[in-house]
Amino acid sequence: MTAAFLHHGGRLAEAAARFGGAPGDWLDLSTGLNPVSWPLDRAPPCDWSALPDPGALAALEHAAGRSFGADPAVVCAVPGSETALRLLGLLLGAPGRALVPAYRTHAEAFATSRPIAFGETPARAETVVLANPNNPDGALRSSAEILDWSTRIAGAGGWLVVDEAFADCHPEASVAAQAGVRPELIVLRSFGKFFGLAGLRLGFLLGPPPLLARVRALVGSWPVHAGALAIGRAAYADAAWIAATRAELPRRAAALDAVLRRHGLMPQGACPLFRYVTGCDAAGLFERLAAARILTRPFSERPDALRLGVPAASAALARLDRALAHGAGDG
């Protein structure tokens, strides 16, 4: 297993180069992206020639804020929530704290970062980063638990950054409505995962107005491209698609769980876009699935854990089922 697969998901070209086949032959279960994307033909045509219009940016932020249940005035579009995390590491200055396990950028975005347990009150001003639901283990915390923690972190002079990149299926657990209300709470949202359009690089930072002003000054007058404006605005306004997808994703995740359990694997997590399996020989399982051209997500610090994206099509699930049953060579 090469280092590339331990860093981020979605490295199909490298997988094909390492294990064979063309990238198109592979079933990519290495990410938490919805494989059934929002239909692009519902978006208006995109004008790449002009500078993005400030009114279109405001309209995108408004549609996104409504979808998040947040005040649109505290929503700032950014070129990907991963980039926003890194900007925050620089802007906030304070040392970082991140859960274990966590999305790797939660620690990387800070010059120094130490682990923290959920709910632990920091002794000093630090920037705590939490994903809800968490990535990779899918742990879901209630908004009440998170807001209680936020109060205690703020009491120590610190910030809480809640990365809600995978929260679209859990509106009840979101704290987006408190963004701009609590002066030390920052919420990040991601467009690409739930809508299955990660190539767009569109995210949002929600927070108190003084911080938002600094972020806007840093990303400048045209923070996102014309395609993100056109597609993002239409997708966030598509309440019917959002509702149908919120209903469908848990059904797909349940079907994956049944397959994993049949092969003695114990799936964890509340997020219907991925499942976390622990207590397995992750390197062996990764290689066995890779031999069947199925890419999954291993972790350098957890040799017993593997994350699997949730397939949409029954054919993809059956292919995973066969690969788990018989090992390499028949995927």
Q: What residues make contact with a second copy under the rule CB under 8 A?
A: 4, 7-14, 28, 31, 33, 35, 37, 40, 46-55, 79-80, 82-83, 85-87, 90-91, 105, 108, 192, 196-201, 217-228, 231
Q: Which of 184, 183, 317, 199 is nearest to 263 (CA)?
A: 317
- Maximum CA pair distance of the chain? 57
What pairs with residue 187 in β-bridges?
Answer: 162, 206
Q: How far is the CB of 303 from a second copy (least distance, A)?
A: 23
Residue (149 or 191) nearer to a second copy, CB: 191
Rounded Cα distance, 216 and 266, in Å: 44
Q: In sequence order, which residues have a C-beta less than 8 Å from that of residue 289 and are 6 or more positions away?
A: 29, 295, 296, 320, 323, 324, 331
184, 150 contact by CB (below 8 A): yes
- Write down the least CB distance from residue 258 to a second copy, Å: 26
Nearer to a second copy, 26 or 159 (CB): 26
**Phi and psi, residue 99, nearest 5°:** -65, 165
Query: Taking a C-beta distance cutoff of 8 angstroms, is the pair 157, 125 a contact?
Result: yes
Least spacing, CB of residue 320 vs a second copy, in Å: 19
In degrees rounded to 5, what are phi and psi of residue 184? Answer: -115, 20
User: In this complex, which beta carbon is closest to a second copy, that of residue 170 or of residue 193?
Assistant: 193
Sheet holding 113-115, edge to edge: 75-78, 203-206, 185-190, 159-163, 127-131, 96-98, 113-115
Q: Which is nearer to a second copy, 108 or 287 (CB)?
A: 108
Cα–Cα distance measured from residue 316 to residue 288, given in angstroms and rounded to the nearest whole number: 16
109-118 contacts at long range (C-beta below 8 A, 24 or more positions apart): 109/85, 118/145, 118/149
Cβ 295 to a second copy, closest distance in Å? 12
Element (H, E) at 238: none
Q: Give me the least distance between CB of 198 and a second copy, in Å please.
A: 5
Q: Which is nearer to a second copy, 87 or 177 (CB)?
A: 87
DSSP per position, 21-90: S-GGG-EE-SS---SS---GGGSPPP--SSPPPHHHHHHHHHHHHHHHTS-GGGEEEES-HHHHHHHHHH
Q: CB count, 10 Å around CB of 157?
A: 12
Q: Which is nearer to a second copy, 31 or 143 (CB)?
A: 31
- Closer by beta carbon to a second copy, 7 or else 261: 7
User: Which is nearer to a second copy, 46 or 147 (by Cβ)?
Assistant: 46
DSSP 193: T
CB of 37 to a second copy, least distance (A): 5
Least separation in angstroms between residue 135's CB and a second copy is 14
Q: How far is the CB of 300 from a second copy (least distance, A)?
A: 16
**Beta carbon of residue 246, minimum distance to a second copy (angstroms, whole number):** 19
Considering the complex, state which of residue 122 and residue 227 has its C-beta at the smaller distance from a second copy: 227
